[in-house]
Amino acid sequence: MSRPAHGKSDCSWHFIMSKLSCANTESSLQMWLSMVTTLWAFDIGPAKDASGQEIPIAGEYSDGVISHVQSHECSITSRSSEVERIIKEAAAQTRERLSHHEY
């Protein structure tokens, strides 16, 4: 894939014609930001049983056009108390911003 002329993105025509940003670029950026934030904030691993042993993941996949690992238990913990504080603060700010909207 070649770079568009004059450094313009593939979305420039859509932006000029509709006065809207390119939805694909915006959604790709949001997906990337969500993934890296999750990896920065949390340790994600296999769930553990009552004796502290990891519960193995069966590795079974769904059938269909889009295949994915079947649901399984996992462990999600914050990487540190500082990260936990930042997450809680961001959640509170988000709740405050959304409280003005009906949904």
Q: How many helices (H) and strands (E) does the chain have?
A: 3, 2
Is residue 103 included in any domain, yes or no?
A: no
Distance CA 69, CA 90 (A): 30
Q: For the chain, how many structural domains are there in total?
A: 1
Is residue 39 included in any domain, yes or no?
A: yes
Is residue 33 included in any domain, yes or no?
A: yes
Written as six digits, the tokens of 94 are: 């988000």
Query: Which residue from 99, 102, 96, 48 is spatially nearest to 75, judged by alpha carbons?
Result: 48
Give 69-85 pLDDT, tens digit per residue.
888 899 999 999 999 99
Distance CA 84, CA 40 (A): 11
Among 24-28, 37-41, 98-102, the least confident range: 24-28
Is residue 62 included in any domain, yes or no?
A: yes
Is this model's pTM higher than 0.85 or not? no
Question: Long-range contacts: 18-24, Cβ < 8 Å, 24+?
Answer: none
> Which structural domain, as residue segments, surrounds residue 63?
5-98
Is residue 29 included in any domain, yes or no?
A: yes
